[in-house]
Amino acid sequence: MIYSNVMQNLGYDQIIREDLPITERFNEEAYKRYLKLAKISEGLKKDAILKNFNCTGLIGDKVCFTNAGALFFRVNDEDVLFRHAGIVCVLYKGLSKGHILDAKELNGDIVSNVDNALIFLKKYLRASYKVGTPQRENVLELPEDALREAIVNAVCHRDYFEVGARVMVEIFDDRVDIVNPGEVCEGITCENFGTISITRNAILASMFSRIHYIEQVGTGITRMKNATREAKVADPEFDFSGFFRITFRRSISDQLPIPSKKEAIVENVINDREPVKTSDRKMMFLSYIKEHTKATTSGIADSFDLGKSRTREIIQEMISDGLIEKVGDNRDTYYVLSNDQKKKEVANDNERIILTDIGEQTKATTADISDSLDLNKNEDQKNKKVAMDKKQTVLTYIEEQAKATTSGISDFLDLSKNRAREILKEMVSDGLIERVGDNRDTHYVLSNAQKNTEVAIDNKQTILTYIEKHAKTTTVDMAELLLMSKERASGILREMTNDGIIEKLGNRRGTYYVLSKGQKNKQVTNDDEQMILTYIGEHTKVTTPDVAKLLVVNKNRAREILKEMISNGTIKKVGVSRHTYYVLKE
């Protein structure tokens, strides 16, 4: 299980993540920046500092991140595990959510997310110059300190177990809303709100306090009110029916402060931009439809800030051109790539891959190209692999969350609810999961058979880890370690021997087990791949020469390893010829 100690009723930020060792994707830049903000010397031992911060913990002999540590000091920008922990900033036109002018997803370390959310607000809120000071001082229409306090409050007090929602920073013509998932903690009422403090994520609050993003815990509401009163704007409003919302009211009278240059530029871009060619629009629409399972007129119109009538005209032209196809009727209408266009997209992608292979290796054989393009697999095999990958992702999701709903899987896999239901139904038929409850209370959990399978896998992994550490093991050792009978331990060791994972040596009482040669080679490969992933996490990308130097191998071997990692779906190629590099696959 990913949450190894969740049964101890710990807060989300306290949970030690067995799957997140600090040796993987450690964000050195975020760590050094935090030390600088906290005025802590970089000369002190990193391990001691992280332990003192409650950002790491031990699982056996392995030092792992706590969730708090991962949020502050791990590279999470392309990791689905922490996608829900980011911040979404949106600028709307008008008083409702009907018309989006700009939007930004922030998925970096938690301090950078707070900083960038504040930058987004400063970019679009009006500013004026404060008179009576020796130097001209730019002042936001809403106090910056109050906004920062509200954003930090949102990321500190949100419910991180709720993976279906993120912190929202929303700008409307008449207000700014900062919303976080999760109700106020038990014990806080309308009467005592703002006078007592119960912290949902105490480590996060302590970490922000160390760098003075917030002051003494429990004073945030008072500080926000004091800041707004000093700026002579309306007090913030607080709504904790459902999600927790802080609203800052903006002036919409004729006596508005002088707009900042940034806002003026945005207004010019929005209102006075040059018309985009229809051919360019079609290319933009194609990219959108390719990325979305079901593209609707409303979705396309909102994404490209176009009227629905004009959007329908372009869509109709694209259908006539044979680029896309219409599916469904009335409100269920959506658009997908036509079969001809899908073939063109595949052909274009294949050409890019072949050019990349030739550019990297100066030549490419038929076998190389066949491997790169997966030509040995027919369409049915590829579809089965995609389906299996989705089912494995669902199993991982249920392991983490203990249960799953149709809506949760639909959002997590970016699928329609109907497709999510189909996958869950297939998994029930396969005996992987069980359906519990009815109607709105319906959810899915691991089946008993699957739980037993997970336990068996965990037991085998424990045995492998033990042999790696001690070089060998015996039936008696494993019976004691796994708290089972010698007969059961012997059966597991026999299975692993038959699977070619371990080898049996000696006879009778002198019998012991070691890693097989194949397993040793596999672990060497895994170690190499992990080093490459760590390098990409630190440098955002890697090249073939980088890998050759990192692993002390020749370039041909480096290419082979990178090709295997592409096949495994962990990285992807970018660029061609000498400009080829590799990044983590989203």
CA distance 540 to 396: 26
pLDDT at 171: 94
Hey, is 341 helix, strand or coil? helix
Identity at 425, one-letter amino acid code: K
- Give me the architecture of the 379-446 domain, per CATH: Orthogonal Bundle (1.10)
Main-chain phi, psi angles of 528, to 5 degrees? -60, -45
The CATH number that domain 450-515 falls under is 1.10.10.10
Q: Is 249 within 8 Å of 234 (Cβ atoms)?
A: yes
Q: Is 580 within 8 Å of 574 (Cβ atoms)?
A: yes
**More confidently predicted of 265 and 188:** 188
Q: Which of 126, 124, 118 is nearest to 171 (CA)?
A: 124
Q: Which of 17, 85, 31, 54 is nearest to 206 (CA)?
A: 54
CA distance 535 to 529: 10
Mean pLDDT of the 395-407 span: 84
Residues 6+ apart with CB under 8 A from 351: none
Q: Which of the residue ranges 124-128, 289-293, 490-494, 506-510 would you say has the lowest mean pLDDT?
A: 289-293
DSSP assignment of 19-74: EEETTSSB-HHHHHHHHHHHT--TTS-HHHHHHHTT-EEEETTEEEEEHHHHHHHB
Largest CA distance in the chain: 93
CA distance 391 to 423: 7
CA distance 205 to 196: 15
Mean pLDDT of the 178-193 span: 67
DSSP assignment of 171-202: E-SSEEEEEESSPPPTT--TTTBTTB---SSH
Q: Is 423 within 8 Å of 390 (Cβ atoms)?
A: yes
141 C-beta neighbours (distance < 10 Å), count? 18
Average pLDDT, the chain: 79
CA distance 425 to 362: 48
Q: What is the pLDDT of residues 484-530, one digit of tens each?
A: 888 888 889 998 898 888 999 988 888 999 988 777 766 656 678 87
CATH 3.30.565.60 positions along the chain are 83-263
Hey, is 581 helix, strand or coil? strand
Q: Give the class (CATH, top level) of 83-263.
A: alpha beta
Token pair 């390893």 in the structure block, residue: 561
Hey, is 276 helix, strand or coil? coil
Query: With bands split at pLDDT 50, 70 and 90, how would you rate the model's confidence at 273?
Result: very low
Residues 6+ apart with CB under 8 A from 215: 209, 223
pLDDT at 187: 54
Q: Which of the residue ranges 248-252, 261-265, 386-390, 436-440 would you say has the lowest mean pLDDT?
A: 261-265
Mean pLDDT of the 557-567 span: 85
Q: Would you say domain 274-337 falls under CATH 1.10.10.10?
A: yes
Token pair 């494995």 in the structure block, residue: 392
**More confidently predicted of 220 and 206:** 206
CA distance 205 to 281: 46
Q: Is the pLDDT at 435 greater than 50, yes or no?
A: yes
Q: Is the pLDDT at 378 greater than 60, yes or no?
A: no
The CATH number that domain 519-584 falls under is 1.10.10.10
CA distance 395 to 428: 12
> Where in 378-522 does DSSP place strands (E)?
433-436, 443-446, 502-505, 512-515
Evaluate the CA torsion angle 249, 254, 258, 264 in order and state its sign.
positive
Q: Is the pLDDT at 31 greater than 50, yes or no?
A: yes
pLDDT at 134: 45
CA distance 206 to 120: 25
CATH 1.10.10.10 positions along the chain are 274-337, 379-446, 450-515, 519-584
Mean pLDDT of the 209-224 span: 76
pLDDT at 254: 37
Highest-confidence range of 107-121, 220-234, 248-262, by mean pLDDT?
Answer: 107-121
Q: What is the pLDDT of residues 63-101, one digit of tens each?
A: 999 999 999 999 876 666 777 888 999 998 888 887 888
